[in-house]
Amino acid sequence: MPVTELKIRTLGDPALTKGACLVKEITAYHRKVLSGMARLMYSVSGVGLAAPQVGILESLIVIDIGTGLYKLINPKILKVSGTQISEEGCLSVPGVIKKIKRAKTVIVKAQDENGKHLTIEGEGLLACVFQHELDHLNGKLIVDYK
């Protein structure tokens, strides 16, 4: 799929519930997809976007809560602590806001677009967005929370 044509898939699209595969070898294609996803996220004033939301079932996410852009490959939550409840929306579920209980702090490991291994600690909003985007990689949406 040409990266310039990335579009956000919405509720009912099968790509959103299938789950993503791990990226085995990071290539120029993945770097292009991540850049395209970041552009798309900024164009709709989002704070995070996962590849299944654009129909690509690979483990790629972009996040920017206003403190800098993360382009991450194969992110995985290593450790969680505390709890927080916040109101969440999702670009793929327009018009829905849900109160969701999540961990307050997460430690995430991932690779950057050059394959470098990173460990990132997120708290508050950043922790929430990490958990939301990782849910997308597992095919889980905010409407799946009670």
**Residue ranges that bind Zn ion, judged by CB under 5 A:** 90
Nearest CB to Zn ion, comparing residues 43 and 114: 43
- The least distance separating Zn ion from the CB of residue 127, rounded to whole angstroms, comes to 15
Bridge partners, residue 76, by sequence: 109
Task: Give alpha helix (H) positions in the chain.
Answer: 28-43, 125-137
Nearest to 126 by CA among 73, 53, 42, 69: 69
- The least distance separating Zn ion from the CB of residue 116, rounded to whole angstroms, comes to 26
133 has catalytic annotation:
yes
- The least distance separating Zn ion from the CB of residue 64, rounded to whole angstroms, comes to 14
Instruction: For the beta carbon of residue 92, count every other beta carbon within 10 angstroms.
Output: 23
Q: Write down the residue that tokens 């927080």 correspond to.
A: 84
- The DSSP-derived string for 8-42 is ---TT-GGGTS--BPPSS--HHHHHHHHHHHHHHH
Q: Which of 25, 121, 123, 133 is catalytic?
A: 133
Residue nearest Zn ion, Cβ-based: 90
Nearest CB to Zn ion, comparing residues 2 and 66: 66
Nearest CB to Zn ion, comparing residues 3 and 11: 11
- The least distance separating Zn ion from the CB of residue 115, rounded to whole angstroms, comes to 26
Nearest CB to Zn ion, comparing residues 90 and 128: 90
Angstrom distance (rounded) from CA 16 to CA 36: 18
Catalytic residues: 133
